[in-house]
Structure 1
């Protein structure tokens, strides 16, 4: 039994050590973290921070020379920057006449962790524009002034409305940015229409669409936002990949097919640009900022087909909204695949089973703490056959332990091969699989790991309270202290602490039940300590689930103990040992064990012949 316990715990320990190793902060991240702490210290002391925020200051108005005014789109180099508001019940979009772009976006239904409006990005920390060749000049529309068709527009219910931003070359030659918004949508349509410019814009050069944004902190834990923020893109054969979640990255896109969309994704909100006809190719870059309150900076440069007709239309769409699975899925284009639900089979467990059950429970209108409780109970009921089989196998090994100790005393530890053979003979006679307790634990592991990805990415838990936990989507700190740079810790989570204590208690009772002795009984205490360090900054909703799982596991084991009788198990084992070999139905494990024993005996004979 103790060998099975060790095997299972060792596998879990390897996974946790691997996760801790690969998710540890790099030297660059540690330097940025130190810069952040220095900046915060300067702010508290009244000094100006030494770190300059990218795109934070509004650039001075350019001085326009006469040559620019005489060049292509010359008159558009001068103008007054004003704002046009396009809004519905979900979003408020500010359009700037300079560049004709979306200068800022506010999500009306949500607040930041400190109850301020959720501004996805603002005018001074974003840019958007077309770059193309016109004669011998390179034109960048972000520096030119557009003429709006409306001063403001509010769209209600299911109605739709549009605002046109026009960049004039002449009365019959112009570029229109046509923005459309429906009353119940998070999407903003953008149709770029170039009219009569085929002789002005070079037909041999593609149009380049540049988009940059600086995304600010919106959640309590900026480190968590760093972890779950990155640049996502759909490309090739409908593959969704990402960059920049763990380090600064830049990637060339379109090498394996057209790019359907790119996304500047934060933890719980996304800014997505969709090309209905696809982008030919482009680049996407993500950088983590050390400036206080800045999560990451994003930059994209995407290519559109060259202008070759009298009127060319480039249909685009923006999605500005929450990273809520069913909301993203309703937008189409597989936007929901931005949400990290795990790798391999873990994401399918979450998508096929966990999310539908969660959505059903959410539809009942319960508190999310109660929903997590019911979800955990359902999970434990599904896994109860494996739990029972694991406990029964451990009980069999516990009953066999006295006989195994006798064999060990008789054979000695100097000949491990012979000792293993004698153990295998005992297992064969008793009809016991020594891995019977480990295999169910391993089979349960993917489901347990699936929840590890599910809860941290669950938008529905954002700013939802339960008991003392004010926000189930982030940690609940009971003790706060100065940040420890190496460990990157500045608090102790109460729910994580309760989870750890409950795991230690269960480990203690399991050791008492199994009768494990020596150093082996201390192995089970290592994993909870590792969990305390890893999960301390993870959402309290996740730690609450693990805490409930521990309590239900303890309850399950208590009930199973009432059913499992060691004397009856011992009697069955002795009865099985006395059966003739012909009456015993061999399992696959026993067949492999017989083959192993034959191989060992053959090796022993060969060695004796050589001697």
Structure 2
């Protein structure tokens, strides 16, 4: 096989590493699933509780009244980033809107992005009790308090005789963090035991299973569960959209936090005091629903005393700088070369502050990366040019060798290697610089896929969202055409007819294949890839003009 053909095949293999080693490129296409009725599973998953000390005389609790059809009322709090709607039924979140983000494709119809996918459910930040149906009963709205630092909304439940339960949601200003305080007040003269209680979020975040097919982006990731291990690494579990049966999984440690996330958005429980919880589990439903639940501690309340469970919750976009404050930044997938991906993120953030536009920031970052890679690329192009020149010289001798040893392939290869050695030709000499560039390419590639900051970021008139595919397919075609030009510029004309046909198949086949694949890729990624190709072509032209 000719020198150029070997080098081209090596390059294609390296490209394949980039394109196919990532499971993000080929996620399982979810089947459309009909939404089922609300899952009533959170309470049924409690583990066996420790028995109450015999010396403690506990007064049985009784509910004072039963309401078959409680009246539902709604109350809202908000800051510059979010608007949250609460229901008096269960004192739960019914709507969680992100003001900086939108799922709408039309500029004039943009609405806040909703993170609560099932608004008919009373299961988001729900407090469950096996003894009392407090989550489906009416709570009293006790007011909203606002100051310079946060906004607090308060709900009270007084239908358990002698016991008052208070849920306080505190939303910090300019933040996606909610502080949840659950207070239990014993107003009786006897000790009481509160047990079998849970705090739950679900089903899902952002999308339900039936909505996933509407989000036509091959990089979209369905729900994952993430939590930190003792060695500071992150455990991730991919929820199966097409699970055949329900599955409840208890996390085998008491984590500092646990997250339910998709590609861009997340909900979490952050445990201030691990003594407030017994364990954490998640449910993977056969219908594709996911619930995240914390089993709360048993509470023994002395007469006329109280106790409070405090759990924080970050609900919002996976913005790197915000998550870093909670040591949760590693849930963002920055690929194999994470340390480079972090630098790419900070570079992108810096360039955005200068340009005020992520499209221009991507172009500038592409230029900077190409400048960093200029020397290894220059070496690669020069070696390729030198190899092509030598191949023209030895081509007649190669054809002669092929005729002489047409029936002895092993001998032909030996003679070819001698010929290469004589003229100091290294068939793979230009590949090493390309290999050195791979970590930077992969890091930038993965960063652009994972950056929620690109969600809703517009560039030029037809690109309204750099996280979504190009609606006019201009960028995929642009990427494919520039790839073909690159291949054409490196093609040698001194090859045999068979080798030339093989090279033409590779030269046109790979760009066409990638172009078709790229129809569903984020436009921000394609903007980088296309501009990188243009700059590589310019560099190759400069090299070809030098003597």
Q: Which segments of 5 or more consecutive residues in structure 1 lack a partner in the other structure?
A: 36-50, 57-69, 290-295, 479-492, 566-611
User: 1:439-588 counterparts in 2 under 5 A?
Assistant: 439-467=432-460, 468-478=462-472, 493-512=473-492, 517-563=500-546, 565=547
CA RMSD of aligned residues (A): 3.4
Give the Cα–Cα distance (whole angstroms) in 2 for the partners of residues 462 and 161 of structure 1: 27
SS of match in other structure, 2:217: helix
Give the Cα–Cα distance (whole angstroms) in 2 for the partners of residues 497 and 286 of structure 1: 40
Distance change (3 Å), C-alpha of 1:90 and 1:477: closer
What is residue 111 of structure 1 aligned with on the other side?
102
Query: Alpha-carbon deviation of 1:287?
Result: 6.1
Query: C-alpha deviations, 1:224-280, integer Å up to 9, x for none?
Result: 39823413321322433433466346562421x213333333443322222223454
Query: C-alpha deviations, 1:547-601, integer Å up to 9, x for none?
Result: 11111111000111123x3xxxxxxxxxxxxxxxxxxxxxxxxxxxxxxxxxxxx
TM-score by length of 2: 0.80
What is residue 299 of structure 2 aligned with on the other side?
307
Query: C-alpha deviations, 1:63-110, integer Å up to 9, x for none?
Result: xxxxxxx96334365753323333323222223222122232223344
Query: C-alpha deviations, 1:281-302, integer Å up to 9, x for none?
Result: 333245697xxxxxx7431232
Give the Cα–Cα distance (whole angstroms) in 2 for the partners of residues 384 and 226 of structure 1: 30
C-alpha contact (below 8 Å) 1:340/1:453 kept by paired residues: yes
Distance change (3 Å), C-alpha of 1:194 and 1:231: farther
C-alpha contact (below 8 Å) 2:26/2:218 kept by paired residues: no
Give the Cα–Cα distance (whole angstroms) in 1 for the partners of residues 198 and 484 of structure 2: 58
1:325 pairs with one of 320, 325, 339 = 320
SS of match in other structure, 1:443: helix
Give the Cα–Cα distance (whole angstroms) in 1 for the partners of residues 218 and 63 of structure 2: 42
In terms of fraction of residues, the more helix-rich structure is 1
What is residue 183 of structure 1 aligned with on the other side?
173
Distance change (3 Å), C-alpha of 1:220 and 1:248: closer
1:390 pairs with one of 372, 380, 388 = 380
What is residue 486 of structure 1 aligned with on the other side?
none
Give the Cα–Cα distance (whole angstroms) in 1 for the partners of residues 177 and 67 of structure 2: 30
What is residue 97 of structure 1 aligned with on the other side?
88
What is residue 4 of structure 1 aligned with on the other side?
7
Aligned length: 496
SS of match in other structure, 2:373: helix
Q: Which segments of 5 or more consecutive residues in structure 2 lack a partner in the other structure?
A: 40-59
Distance change (3 Å), C-alpha of 1:147 and 1:360: same
Give the Cα–Cα distance (whole angstroms) in 1 for the partners of residues 97 and 286 of structure 2: 23
C-alpha contact (below 8 Å) 1:236/1:254 kept by paired residues: no
Query: Which structure ranks higher in relative contact order (CA pairs < 8 Å, sequence separation ≥ 6)?
Result: 2
What is residue 162 of structure 1 aligned with on the other side?
152
Give the Cα–Cα distance (whole angstroms) in 2 for the partners of residues 465 and 263 of structure 1: 29
Query: C-alpha deviations, 1:348-372, integer Å up to 9, x for none?
Result: 2211x21111111111134322211
What is residue 44 of structure 2 aligned with on the other side?
none
Structure 1 residues 6-15 or 435-444, which shifts more? 6-15
Asked if 1:193 is matched to 2:183, the reply is yes
Give the Cα–Cα distance (whole angstroms) in 1 for the partners of residues 353 and 66 of structure 2: 53
SS of match in other structure, 1:222: coil
Distance change (3 Å), C-alpha of 1:228 and 1:508: same
Query: Alpha-carbon deviation of 1:207?
Result: 3.1
Query: Alpha-carbon deviation of 1:387?
Result: 1.1
TM-score by length of 1: 0.72
Distance change (3 Å), C-alpha of 1:185 and 1:466: closer
Larger Rg: 1
Query: C-alpha deviations, 1:120-140, integer Å up to 9, x for none?
Result: 22641341433345xxxx334
Give the Cα–Cα distance (whole angstroms) in 2 for the partners of residues 170 and 366 of structure 1: 55
Distance change (3 Å), C-alpha of 1:89 and 1:395: closer
Give the Cα–Cα distance (whole angstroms) in 1 for the partners of residues 85 and 242 of structure 2: 30
